[in-house]
Amino acid sequence: MLEVFYKSYKILPVSERRKFVHLQILVIIVALIDAAGVASILPFISILTDPDIIHGSVFLTKIYNFTTSYGVDNDQDFLIFSGFSVLSILSLGIILKGTVTYLQFRFVYMQEYLIGSRLFEVYLNQPYKFFLSRNSAELTKNLVSELNIVINQVFMPVMNLISQFFVTSAILMVLFLINFGATVVLLTSLLAIYLLLFLSVKKHLTKLGNMRFYNNEQRFKVVNDSFKNIKELKILNAVNYFSNKFQNFSYRYAASQTSANLWSQIPKFFLELIIFCSLLVFILILLINNVPVASFIPIISVYVFAAYRLMPAIQHIYGCVTVLRFSSTPLNHLHSELFETTTTERLRQDLENIIFEEKIELVNISMSHIGKKNTVLNNLNLEIKKYSHTGIIGKSGGGKSTLLNIISGLLVPDNGAIEIDGKSLKAEQLGAWFRLLGYVSQDVYLADIPLSENIALGLPRDQIDYQKLRRVCEMVDLADFIETELHNGYDSLIGENGSQLSGGQRQRVSIARALYKSPQILILDEATSSLDKSTEQNLVDLIEQLKERITIISVAHNQTALAKCDKVYSITNGQLQCVALKNQQK
């Protein structure tokens, strides 16, 4: 349990840790006022049942004498004054409790924003290699679902547990002062029952927590796989298969939640019976021993009121402990993601631009497949001159895309270096290097945002240069289509992943996006492979026109896309060989 508290505190931002401490100070103040409210019941009920006690108690006599200067002239007035005093203390406690509860809720749910933003930033700043070995559905689950569970089932219970602990402790201190023996018996009985019950379900709660975490992860993966492959699911008649998988994981997820909540509530029913039976037994013992009723009514009143406050508090403490045990798995996972994920690469944007005047050289590059021992690139060397169009061809899985990822700086080779005009590219220069690059992939990503924001990706609409936007769209032969056929022109929505555009149009948007940032180097990773021959040829002609002002590196598995390259290399056994294509223009 201490580990849960430690990790919960550790994943808080430093500034929020101070707020957490301040909140606990307020919680202690509220607990003390709560205890004062309980303690004030005893003298008030004593005065109510026996007004003569006012003058028989040194403490009450002093208060009585003090109040006479404020118009309290007799016992009746003092009784009314005492009643209003008790009411004031209880009212103050309720007001402060409501205020602290609001501050707790605000603090806890702001952590979802702060920690979520921090975790998202951690993910985005991971090396590209990180995303090749992680499932996107898992990362989404961590950010959206598991973080929400940690907030609601770890942070909130921790806050409640601390609050109720202080409230319970303060009230018990009052009860100890009133009747030490009876309070010890009552407290020992309650602790024994709760402790035995918790120890008996502790391992089961951990197992339920792991079950919930696993099934939640599988739910996200099934949904992600289903929506990404909806065409295949329908054509292959596999919809029911995925639907059944989702239902199975969802049922187990719900069952684990149900069981955990049930175990957290079971003692509530026993608690009410134990407390009231204990009070009844206590009253019977006093009656059997001929203790006058009037003498123990004040004490019984205090215990009844204290029980009214203690029952929900003790139950809340037990409920929080069981929920924390159940939810320790997502907390451990979130802690690991924040502090044990591989070192992030934060690209420095304040460096001077890299000077590229002559050539790019790949020197003795070697690289293995991610998670495999076999080498995909073996001591490879390549020279790319400025304003040239270099083509790379080869079989699927031969290392073409890996080579491009190394050139672009997304992957770091196992051995070798990239040199720009004879100077090695360093890790701290990646931000400056990326500013020189434009990248077009076979799998075009288009967000469900206006077309203008898709092309100027990463810029808010009010920072987009629409004149520049139109120029690049004219360069890729998109301007007429956008201005005549799209209802809102450049600010038209184009659907999820460009669903309202043809394949050729989506690729042109991708090229326009790459050109908008005015790159010196344009990288094309099988950018035309999914297009028909006519559209592919049009894009090849378009790319050729760009060669006069941009260095182009193209990867393809067919010769048509590389017909106008200055040099074409084939990757074989991790090595490059210069080849002449049959239809290559001399």
Work out the mean pLDDT of the chain and round it to a whole number: 82
The answer to whether residue 360 scores a pLDDT higher than 90 is yes
The predicted-structure confidence for 320-340, as pLDDT tens digits, reads as follows 888 888 888 888 888 888 887
The answer to whether residue 583 scores a pLDDT higher than 70 is no
The answer to whether residue 581 scores a pLDDT higher than 70 is no
**Alpha carbon distance 256, 217 (integer Å):** 14
The answer to whether residue 383 scores a pLDDT higher than 90 is yes
Report, as an integer, the average pLDDT of 77-86: 83
Element (H, E) at 450: none
% the chain with pLDDT above 70: 92
Residue 48, CA distances (Å) to 35, 59, 77 in order: 21, 16, 12
180-189, 344-353, 496-505: segment of lowest average pLDDT: 344-353
Domains of the chain: 2-339 (1.20.1560.10), 359-579 (3.40.50.300)
The answer to whether residue 384 scores a pLDDT higher than 90 is yes
Most confident of 180-184, 277-281, 309-313, 320-324: 320-324
**Alpha carbon distance 548, 544 (integer Å):** 8
Residue 372's pLDDT is 65
Binning pLDDT at 50, 70 and 90, where does residue 351 land?
A: low
CB 514 within 8 A of CB 439: yes
Q: What is the DSSP letter of 440?
A: E
Binning pLDDT at 50, 70 and 90, where does residue 558 land?
A: confident
Report the alpha-carbon angle 94-109-30, nearest 5: 25
Q: Which amino acid is at 207?
A: K
Residue 562's pLDDT is 84
Binning pLDDT at 50, 70 and 90, where does residue 232 land?
A: low
Copy the structure tokens of residue 417.
């270096």
List residues bridging with 90 in a β-sheet: none
Residue 257's pLDDT is 81
Tell me how far apart the terminal alpha carbons of the chain are, to the nearest angstrom. Answer: 74
**Alpha carbon distance 456, 479 (integer Å):** 15
Residue 256, CA distances (Å) to 114, 168, 252 in order: 28, 30, 6
Residue 446's pLDDT is 84
Report, in this order, helix, strand and coil percent for the chain, each rounded to 5: 65, 10, 25
Residue 53, CA distances (Å) to 49, 74, 489 in order: 9, 13, 88
The answer to whether residue 517 scores a pLDDT higher than 70 is yes
Prediction pTM value: 0.74
